[in-house]
Amino acid sequence: MKKIRQFLFFLGMTVSFIVVVVTNYSLNTKIVFGLIYIIIVLSICGGIMLENRSPYKTLLWMYAIIFFPLVGYVFFIYSGQLEVKGHLFKKKREKHIEMMKKMIHCRPSELSQGFNEKEKSFADLVETLSQHPLSCYSQTEVLKNGDETFPAIQEELRKAREYIHLGYYTLRDDKVGMSIIDILCEKAKNGCEVLVYHDFIGSSLSRKTIKKMRECGVRVHGFLPLRRSFFNQKLNFRNHRKIIVIDGKVGFVGGMNIGDEYIGEGKRFSFWRDTHLKVKGEVVQTLQAAFLSDWFYITGEELPFSKYKAKELQNGDGGIQVVTSGPDSSQSVMSDLYHAMVTSAKESIIIATPYFVPNKDIRTALKIAAARGVDIKIMVPRKNDGFLTQYGTNSYFGEMLNENINIYQYEKGFMHHKILIVDDKIASVGTANVDIRSLQLNFEINVFLLHSKTIQQLIHNFYEDIKDSHKVEKQAYRHRSLLERLKESFARLFSPVL
C-alpha cells in the first residue's frame, strides 16, 4: 500500500509539474493542476510530520520537497526513509527472531562466575538487546591478514563432509576468489551441500562463474539484486556480513572479504591489514542461524534447523557472544553495544576502524570517557579507499583531539579491520565499522569477547600496528590547509550514508 501511494504521489506530481511548467494549456487548467500539486505536497509533508522525526530533520525534508520539485521527493523516498526502515524488513526481522530462539541454546557454565560485575552486566545487555546468549563453551583464534586467513579457510573447506554455508559482502572471481570457488565446486560435486550468497552490490561475480558454480551443484544467490530493490527502497541496505560455517564444527567471521585486494594484490593498495576470527563450539550455531535467516530472506527456502547442529566443546576460552544487527533489528543494536562499551570504560579504549564516522551518541560517550581520564586510542588508515570516506573520517579528528584523544593513521597500507577493546577485558571484532552506515543501514555481524585470551592477541597486534602508524598532532591538524578543511566539510555532509 505504501509503495502504491508513493508511486501515485510521484505520478501526480510529475504530471502536474509538466502541465504547469512545460505545456501551453489554458490558465484555468494550469491552476487546477497547480492545486493538485500543492495538495500532494501538503499530504507528503503531513505524512513526514506524523513520523515524529527530530524537528530539524522534519523541516529539512519538508523544505527539500517544497523547493526542489520531484527531485526532492525522489531523494526522500530513497534516503529520507532510512530512519523509518522497520517496515521494509518486518518479515525478515520476525523470521530472524524465530530462528534465533529455536537454534541458539548455550549451556550454563561455572566459568562465568569468574567474570566481574561489569563483564556480567555487559553480557546481560548483549543478550537483552540481541537475544544472543553468552557461551562459555566456544573458542576463537585470531587470523591476521590474508596470508593467515585464506589458508585457514581453504584448509577447513577441504575437510568439509556434510555442508558448507558461505555468505559474503564481497566475493570476486579473481585469483583468491577462484581458489575458494574451486574448492566449493569440488565439494559440491562430491555430495556436500554448498550454499552461497553474496551481496549484489558489493560482489563482482561474472555470469560465467555463477554458471560454473551452479553446474557443479553450488547453490548461489545475490542479496537484494538491483532489479528487485530499486523500486522498493532497499537499494541502500546492503549485507555486509562475512560468514562461513562448515559441518557445524568451525566457522569464520571478521573483516575480510574474498578478493585479491585482501592479500595486497589489488589495484590501489600493496598491503592490506585486516583481522578475521576462526570460531568453534556453541557460537558456530549463532553464525549458522544468521546464515539461515539471510538464506530464507533471499530464497524463501526454510531449511530444517535440526540438520545444522554445532559440535559441542568440553571447554572454552572466556565468554563469547555473536551478535547480528541490521535494518531488520528493532533498534540499532550494534550502535547501542558500542556505546555501552565506551561508557563502561574505566582505564582504556582501543578502536581500529577504516571508517570513523561516529554518530552523536558515540562521539559524546568518547568525549565524556576522555574527560574521566580514560586513555583512548583510535586508529584509522592514512589513505582510505574513497574520497568521501577519507575526508569524512578526517573531519571528526578535531573533536577527538580537543579532548586529548589519541588518533593514529596507519601508513603501511590500507587498514580494514573493525576492533573495539575496553579495559583489556571486553572486545568486539567483526564486520561493523564505527560509522553510520554499519550501525544503522547494513546487515552486520560481530563477535563480542569477555575475559578471553584472544583479547590479548588483539591488543598485541594493535600496538604492533602503532609502529606502522603516524600520530596525528593537534597543532598540525589545526594548521591544515583551507582546501583540506573544505574537503572534510563537503565529505561530512554525506556522513549519514558513508
Supply the residues annotated as catalytic: 240, 242, 247, 416, 418, 423
Longest dimension (CA), the chain: 84
Nearest to 111 by CA among 120, 102, 121, 103: 120
Phi-psi region of 451 (alpha: psi -120 to 50; beta: other; left: phi over 0): left
Dist CA 261 CA 418 (whole Å): 17
Dist CA 169 CA 444 (whole Å): 10
Dist CA 228 CA 3 (whole Å): 13
Residues in Cβ contact with 266 at an 8 Å cutoff, skipping those fewer than 6 apart: 259, 260, 272
The answer to whether the beta carbons of residues 377 and 439 sit under 8 Å apart is no
DSSP result, 173-242: -SHHHHHHHHHHHHHHHTT-EEEEEEETTT-B--HHHHHHHHHHT-EEEEES-HHHHTTTT-TT--B--E
Only one residue has cell 484555468, namely 28
Dist CA 67 CA 63 (whole Å): 6
Only one residue has cell 504530471, namely 15
Q: Is 490 exposed, middle or buried (0-12, 13-18, 19+ CB in 10 A)?
A: middle
Q: Radius of gyration of the chain from Cα atoms?
A: 24
The answer to whether the beta carbons of residues 431 and 322 sit under 8 Å apart is no
Cell numbers of 155, please?
584448509
User: Per this entry, what is the length of the chain?
Assistant: 498
CA distances from 357 to 350, 363, 447, 461 (A): 16, 9, 21, 23
Find the helix packing angle between 2-21 and 27-50, rounded to 10°.
150
DSSP category for residue 437: I
Q: CA angle 181-184-189, nearest 5°?
A: 130
